[in-house]
Amino acid sequence: MSETTRHSRRDLLRVSAAGGAAFAAGSLLLPGAAQAAPRPTALDTPTLPAPRSDRTAGSALRPFGRHLAFGADPSQQVVVSWQVPGAVTAPFVRIGLQPGDFGSPIAAEVRTLVSKLSWQHPVEDQPLVKPTTVTQYYLHAQVDQLIPDTTYYYVVGHQGYDPAGQRAQLGDVASFRTAPAPGRGTGFTFTAFGDQGIGYNAAATANLIAGLDPAFHLHMGDLSYANSGGSGKTSDPYDARLWDSFFVQNDPVASRTPWMMAIGNHEMEAWYGADGYGGVRARFTMPDNAWAQSTGIYSWRCQNVGLISLDGNDICYNTAANLNYTKGKQKKWLESRLAALRADTTIDFVVVYLHQCTYSTCHDNGAELGAQQDWAPLFDKYQVDLVLSGHNHVYERTDPIRSGKPTRKVASGDTVNPLKDGTTYVVAGGGGGGVYSFPVADTYLGHETKNDSPVPMVVADPTGHNQTVKVTWSRVRYTGYCLVAVDVTPAAAGKPARMAVRSITEDGTAVDQFTVQRG
């Protein structure tokens, strides 16, 4: 491979400042790769305000809230994102293969998010002299053509503050590892939860991610609860600066483990555009490759696993602010992607993640009839292996389901064959944002209870009214904080590929485990 497409260890990312800007913007994509459409800022303000003489010097402003994301090809594409507390000039990331040997600056895009204080109900006291707006500065550097299966070190900075040139301190340097190229890896682990929020339980589940050291983490929506109402209306209580706390809380983990997010109902911040996703577009850079300007709807792959992120607000009857806002486009795209992934012989497993629950017996948010009607038949048709969601702040796992009915009982420790058994649905909404409850007793690993009677499931119908039906597929239920860890092992030596799925509490105790194995 030529040096133009694979960087040597000495020449890695040695680009000029102008070249770095082009690189970050995506103009040096791999041959044959599609270039993403430019992402607008949340309020269509692509540049920072003009410098003022009274503005704090760049040397006094420190980056914070670093968080990584993979591109659609995690073996070569990473996005480095962070915040700064005020307007800065020429923000950048430097990347290298050694902690003290960083390349030339790669320019970052600035997305400025302005929130009127009159919209908000701040959770902290306000000073006597307070501004009428809150301005947040989010920075994103999209980096491509990285070497697969390689650890990189990076620092972020701006004019007046360059950790690489000022002898970087230990906390300034972070690292990430690209995924192996498809077919080259020996296996990997990923983690997942939803409904995290800010607080000591949220910090504990984030720290558990660090201990597991996964290749990436899936966050299934309801991230910060800055919008504590979650209705998608401007009457929701809101404090934009809680997002600052969210990113600071997660920086130690998210700065080295890519977090791939799905959109929850608490991310519908109605003050930012018709769909309420202007804040999401400012704060995050996901692949978003469903169509031009799709937000939180994307597909990607990591080795032998195809992954799809969906926006459940599109099919949600009980929080209807964005109901059917894609006008069927998401469903059509979903089927095309599922078909493509299943036609790819190098993909063993298909995992779908979203916020709302297709199936759940927790009554606080219930299950989503729209997902059962529109998406579950596609999950059946294309033999989706695992569907992960949040929304209900509990852990729940179904028996494998096909056509809305369980096919067989799968206790903790058992193995599921999606080809014969159907799709397994997991609710992992215990990321830290409070805990809900079940209408019947918990039953989980080491604490199994009698679980043969039907359990009531609540769904909202198209009019928004709740209906209750009895179901028999609720196999594991746990009330508490936890996350899901998935250990993926590729096929080898005549043994089929498998995914070992575990649910783990804050202190590392397992409350469920099962294996997905095709064939």
| pLDDT tens digit sequence for 450-497 | 999 999 999 999 988 999 999 999 999 999 999 999 999 999 888 999
- Residue 18 in this model has a pLDDT that exceeds 60: no
Least confident of 61-65, 77-81, 170-174, 308-312: 170-174
| pLDDT tens-digit readout, 176-201 | 999 999 988 889 999 999 999 999 99
- Residue 319 in this model has a pLDDT that exceeds 90: yes
Stronger pLDDT, 13 or 500, i.e. the higher one = 500
Phi and psi at 283, nearest 5°, equal: -90, -25
Please list the residues that pair with 188 across neighbouring strands.
488
How many Å apart are CA 48 and CA 439, to the nearest integer?
51
Confidence label for 29 from pLDDT (cuts 50, 70 and 90): very low
Q: Which residues in 227-326 belong to E strands, given as ranges?
A: 259-261, 298-302, 305-309
Return the closest-CA partner of residue 79 out of 165, 154, 158. 154
Residue 114 corresponds to which tokens in the numbers above?
Answer: 């302005």
Mean pLDDT (the chain) is: 90
Mean pLDDT of the region 367-390: 98
Determine if the pTM surpasses 0.75.
Answer: yes
Strands 466-471 and 401-402: unpaired
Phi and psi at 181, nearest 5°, equal: -65, 150
How many Å apart are CA 157 and CA 171, to the nearest integer?
13
- Cβ(378)–Cβ(422) below 8 Å: no
Confidence label for 7 from pLDDT (cuts 50, 70 and 90): very low
Q: Within 256-364, where are the H helices?
A: 278-283, 329-343
| pLDDT tens-digit readout, 107-160 | 999 999 999 999 999 999 988 988 899 999 999 999 999 999 999 999 999 999
- Residue 39 in this model has a pLDDT that exceeds 80: no
Mean pLDDT of the region 321-335: 98
Phi and psi at 62, nearest 5°, equal: -115, 135
pLDDT of residue 50: 42
Confidence label for 404 from pLDDT (cuts 50, 70 and 90): very high
pLDDT of residue 20: 36
The end-to-end CA distance of the chain, in Å, is 37
- Residue 426 in this model has a pLDDT that exceeds 80: yes
Stronger pLDDT, 18 or 496, i.e. the higher one = 496
Residue 164 corresponds to which tokens in the numbers above?
Answer: 């690489």
DSSP letter at 495?
B
Domain residue spans of the chain: 1-178, 190-519
pLDDT of residue 167: 67
Residue 369 in 3-state DSSP?
helix
Mean pLDDT of the region 315-335: 97
Please list the residues that pair with 468 across neighbouring strands.
458
Phi and psi at 270, nearest 5°, equal: -65, -15
pLDDT of residue 279: 98
- Residue 172 in this model has a pLDDT that exceeds 90: yes
How many Å apart are CA 285 and CA 70, to the nearest integer?
9
% of the chain exceeding 90 in pLDDT = 83
Confidence label for 52 from pLDDT (cuts 50, 70 and 90): very low
Residues present in the chain in total: 519
List all residues 6 or more positions away from 232 whose beta carbon is below 8 Å from its beta carbon.
Answer: 265, 268, 270, 276, 313, 319, 321, 322
- Residue 46 in this model has a pLDDT that exceeds 70: no
Q: Which residues in 158-304 belong to E strands, given as ranges?
A: 174-177, 188-193, 216-219, 259-261, 298-302
Strands 415-416 and 510-517: parallel
DSSP letter at 42?
T
Strands 259-261 and 216-219: parallel
How many Å apart are CA 127 and CA 204, to the nearest integer?
32
DSSP per-residue letters across 127-194 = PSS--SEEEEEEEEEEE-SPPTT-EEEEEEEBTTB-TTTTT--GGG-EEEEPPPPTTT---EEEEEE-
Return the closest-CA partner of residue 428 out of 500, 506, 488, 482. 482
- Residue 19 in this model has a pLDDT that exceeds 60: no
Return the closest-CA partner of residue 109 out of 26, 232, 215. 26
Q: Which CATH architecture has domain 1-178?
A: Sandwich (2.60)
Q: 190-519 adopts what CATH topology?
A: Purple Acid Phosphatase; chain A, domain 2 (3.60.21)
% of the chain exceeding 70 in pLDDT = 89
Using CA atoms, how far residue 340 sits from 168, 257, 421, in Å, is 45, 28, 22
